[in-house]
């Protein structure tokens, strides 16, 4: 047995949303290093182009497609462009997401729709659009980036927790429905991750202390803490795993 091939993605095509920054950027590069050809999707064209050029400079076959995935009609067009460019779609990483932390009685309809539309609605329609090609191939891997908040509640996150709980149930539903097409649908549910987006949250020492008190391993996650789960669920090593949510939360949900 060649252990080096366990998580090898040579010849695969991966689409990742929210790829222009943060963990999306880090995961996109990881998929490329593992051998995948990578389609980068996000709204910021400038950041996408810079990342694509960086990855190409490292020998990774990369394309980018600026797209607002809250516009459902644009998703099908985006997936079609990826398919036409690479000739296949093997892996979808639904990473794009947003949080608008507010007390529940201050959440507006616009806040609710903004969070649910990006975190849940767009994830479903990206699955639907990519699933079309995966069904034709009779093979595919879909990884939804959920959150520990799919399992537990937390202050000022009514919309976010609802969206991520929905992602976990979406994962289960699609796993059952698409199993006959050999499409594996799973999700990764991290705890708080140190990124530019969360940096301002942790400027509040009381908030940081409260969060850390809930993580038995005693630290925040980093992007690289998700890498093992991502490669496992993207590769043939997880061919018998579907409908699962893998919590990468330092033990938060064990309490």
| Tens-place pLDDT, residues 26-40 | 999 999 999 999 999
pLDDT, position 197: 73
pLDDT mean over 166-178: 98
* Residue the block writes with tokens 């937390």: 154
The overall average pLDDT reported for the chain is 97
Beta strands in 67-137 (DSSP E): 91-94
Q: What is the pLDDT, as a whole number, of residue 2? A: 73
Q: How many CB atoms lie within 10 A of CB 237?
A: 14
Q: Give the residue from 229, 215, 246, 26 showing the smallest Cα distance to 147.
A: 246
Looking at residues 59-74, what average pLDDT do you find? 98
The residue-averaged pLDDT of 94-108 equals 97
Domains in the chain, CATH or no CATH each = 3-249 (3.40.50.720)
Token digits of residue 148? 């520990």
Q: How far apart are the first and last CA of the chain?
A: 38
The CA-based diameter of the chain, rounded to the nearest angstrom, is: 57
The strand pairing partners of 187, in sequence order, are 144, 245
3-state helix, strand, coil in the chain (%, to 5): 55, 15, 30
Catalytic residue among 33, 65, 154, 160: 160
- Please give the pLDDT value at position 75: 98
Task: Please state, in angstroms and as integers, the Cα–Cα distance from residue 75 to each residue in 14, 22, 42, 169, 242, following that order.
Answer: 15, 22, 11, 21, 24
For 22-43, letters b (16+ CB in 10 Å) and e give: bbbbbbbbbbbbbbbbbbbbbe
- Residue 65 known to be catalytic: no
In this model, does residue 1 exceed pLDDT 90? no
Say what percent of the chain tops pLDDT 90: 94
pLDDT-above-70 percentage for the chain: 100
For residue range 196-243, list pLDDT tens digits in order: 778 889 999 999 999 999 999 999 999 999 999 999 999 999 999 999
* Mean pLDDT to the nearest integer, 115-120: 98
Q: Do the Cβ atoms of 87 and 61 come closer than 8 Å?
A: no
Helices (H) and strands (E) in the chain, counts: 9, 7
Structure tokens given for 6? 């366990």
pLDDT at 215: 98
Whether residue 249 has pLDDT greater than 70: yes
Retrieve residue 147's tokens.
């959150």
Instruction: Copy the structure tokens of residue 59.
Output: 């020998």
């Amino acid at each position: 047995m060649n252990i080096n091939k366990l998580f090898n993605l040579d010849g695969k095509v991966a689409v990742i949303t929210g790829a222009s920054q943060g963990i999306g950027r880090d995961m996109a590069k990881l998929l490329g290093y593992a051998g995948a050809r990578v389609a980068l999707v996000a709204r910021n064209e400038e950041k996408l182009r810079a990342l694509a050029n960086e990855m190409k400079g490292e020998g990774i076959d990369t394309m980018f497609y600026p797209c607002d995935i809250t516009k459902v009609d644009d998703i099908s067009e985006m997936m079609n462009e990826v398919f036409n460019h690479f000739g296949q779609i093997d892996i979808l990483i639904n990473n794009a997401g947003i949080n608008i932390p507010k007390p529940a009685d201050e959440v507006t309809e616009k806040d609710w729709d903004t969070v649910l539309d990006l975190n849940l609605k767009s994830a479903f329609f990206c699955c639907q659009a990519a699933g079309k090609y995966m069904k034709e191939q009779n093979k595919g891997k879909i990884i939804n980036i959920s959150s520990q908040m799919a399992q537990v509640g937390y202050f000022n996150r009514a919309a976010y927790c609802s969206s991520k709980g929905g992602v976990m149930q979406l994962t289960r539903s699609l796993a059952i429905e698409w199993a006959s097409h050999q499409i594996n649908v799973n999700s990764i549910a991290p705890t708080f991750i140190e990124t530019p987006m969360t940096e301002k949250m942790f400027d509040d020492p009381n908030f940081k202390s409260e969060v850390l008190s809930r993580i038995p391993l005693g630290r925040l996650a980093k992007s690289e803490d998700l890498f093992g789960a991502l490669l496992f669920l993207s590769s043939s090593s997880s061919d018998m795993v579907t409908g699962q949510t893998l919590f990468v939360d330092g033990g938060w949900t064990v309490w």
